[in-house]
Chains A and B, each alone.
Chain A
Amino acid sequence: GAVVSQHPSRVICKSGTSVKIECRSLDFQATTMFWYRQFPKKSLMLMATSNEGSKATYEQGVEKDKFLINHASLTLSTLTVTSAHPEDSSFYICSADRVGTEAFFGQGTRLTVV
């Protein structure tokens, strides 16, 4: 199956700083990637759809200025959590999928804001 690589897998940052998470599709071109947030013992919540060469589409309730998404190439999407606060601590996971087929997930990033 296709491979999606996400980096870093864990990050601890101080409150007020920004953190960048990268998501790469290693063996196929992904015009669209997706960013999810997962709270402990909860399901995957779609945050935004990352579109190559255009603006991301955010789900209702997700702050665009807080969670900056850039999809500069067909193989790379980045999520930047700006001015992070403890409530932003969570498991963030990306995926790239082809319409009508399975989603290929990155390894996930556990963000802890102290």
Chain B
Amino acid sequence: GENVEQHPSTLSVQEGDSAVIKCTYSDSASNYFPWYKQELGKRPQLIIDIRSNVGEKKDQRIAVTLNKTAKHFSLHITETQPEDSAVYFCAAPAGNTPLVFGKGTRLSVIA
């Protein structure tokens, strides 16, 4: 089955700096890669996703890159703000099974 590894587990950045979170997956058939942001005590919210037919997708300060050959994808947040502080999860599906989530990255943006 699918195995998703996420790094780092914690990340602290100064406000205005960039943050990068990386994930690897094992199932070469996976074709959809979402990123979720979860604030304390709340549900995960989709912030960006990418399908395997593109290598990069950007939405304002957030971007995701995908390298299918190496089976890894990354989340990039530029010009970080305190409200970006949260736990971020990557995920990947495996065939018809539900999404398999990474272990999460706790991002702290220091003002």
Listed in ascending order, the chain A residues whose CB lies under 8 Å from chain B are: 1, 6, 32, 34, 41-44, 46, 49, 91, 93, 95, 97, 99-103, 105-108, 110
Contact = CB atoms under 8 A, between A and B. Distances in A.
Contacts of B110: none
**Is chain A's binding surface mostly helix, strand, loop or mixed?**
strand
A34 B104 contact: no
Contacts of B96: 99
B101 A44 contact: yes
**Is chain B's binding surface mostly helix, strand, loop or mixed?**
strand
Interface string B68-111: 00000000000000000001010101001011111110100000
Which size bracket describes the interface of B in this complex? 20 to 34
Given A42-B103, A42-B104, A44-B101, A103 B91 contact: yes
A42 B44 CA distance: 13
